[in-house]
Amino acid sequence: MTVMPRKMPALGHAFRAIIARDLLLAWKRPGDVLNPLFFFAMVSALFPLAIGPSHAQLAAIGPGVLWVAALLAALLSLNSLFLSDYEDGSLDHLLLSPQPLPLLVLGKTVSHWLVGGLPLVLVSPLVAVSFRMPSETVGILAATLMLGTVSLSLLGSIGAALTVGLNRGTALLSLLILPLAMPLLIFGARTVSLSAGGESTAAGLYFLAAYSVLALTLAPFAAAAALRISSE
């Protein structure tokens, strides 16, 4: 009985390896993780300063402001998703590797979400409390942001793959991604508002969950195709 030599690592191994590598890279440069969080907190703080400290007003605009700030913060970190790999040439290795590219892209997106999306979700209750949000609503906010940031990272991976190497900065990326992200913003912020009004939030949460499943299914393939085009 002959044993076939393992020519390449198993799929799951490659997937885990790329996540571990990107997490390690992020750990070595904590600024990349912290800056979007500070950005999120500061943008949220701008609105009470601009509008005034009236409790009723803050409670009314809270869900929308937090969602917009989270959207912008997520956008801010997206630009770097493939950039450092593009600059130091590791992207070419990913493209040449025998592993399926969508899987590797998904790995990078997962680690990007762990580094950029998840901390945002964890910090959001702190900011939400300052907007006089009741505690049940804070939970709903975290849930919508959890589902929303997953979709945003996935959508953003397509945009980042399309614009990598263009040197046009985040402005072009925002133009590409923001229209696609608007349904997320509408359902996310509306669901939080509904919850603050004491109404049922199931529909919005289901929509966000469905959207993230759809994005999880399609986005890695689109992003992989875009990466191949960008690095031709």
Partner 1 sequence: MWTFLHKLASPPHFYRLAEKIIPWFAVSGLVLIAYGTWGGLFNAPPDYQQGDAFRIIYVHVPAAYLSMMAYMTMAIAAGIGLIWRMKLAHAVAAATAPLGAWFTFLALMTGSIWGRPMWGTWWEWGDPRLTSELILLFLYIGYIALRNSIDDLAKADKASAVLAMVGAVNVPIIHYSVEWWSSLHQGPTLIRKGGPAIVGDMLWPLLAMIFGFTFVFGALVLSRVRAEVLFRERRARWVRELVSATGAPA
Binding residues (CB under 8 A) for partner 1: these are 158, 162-163, 166, 168, 172, 175-176, 178-180, 182-183, 214, 218, 222, 225-226, 229-230, 232
**3-class DSSP state of 197:** coil
For partner 1, give the closer residue by CB, 128 or 160: 160
Closest CA to 74 of 123, 29, 11: 123
> Minimum distance from CB of 104 to partner 1 (Å)?
17
| Contact assessment for residue 190 and residue 204, using Cβ atoms and an 8 Å cutoff | yes
Other C-beta atoms lying within 10 Å of the C-beta of residue 129: 13
Q: Measure the CA–CA gap between 39 and 43, rounded to whole angstroms.
A: 6
Closest CA to 105 of 30, 34, 155: 155
Residue pointed to by tokens 């263009």: 166
Q: Measure the CA–CA gap between 206 and 145, rounded to whole angstroms.
A: 13
For partner 1, give the closer residue by CB, 11 or 203: 203
> Minimum distance from CB of 229 to partner 1 (Å)?
4
Q: Quick one: tokens of 19? A: 């996540």
For partner 1, give the closer residue by CB, 40 or 187: 187
> Minimum distance from CB of 74 to partner 1 (Å)?
17
> Minimum distance from CB of 210 to partner 1 (Å)?
11
For partner 1, give the closer residue by CB, 62 or 159: 159
Q: Measure the CA–CA gap between 182 and 97, rounded to whole angstroms.
A: 35
| Contact assessment for residue 178 and residue 75, using Cβ atoms and an 8 Å cutoff | yes
> Minimum distance from CB of 186 to partner 1 (Å)?
8
> Minimum distance from CB of 225 to partner 1 (Å)?
6
For partner 1, give the closer residue by CB, 25 or 180: 180
For partner 1, give the closer residue by CB, 105 or 128: 105
| Contact assessment for residue 171 and residue 151, using Cβ atoms and an 8 Å cutoff | no
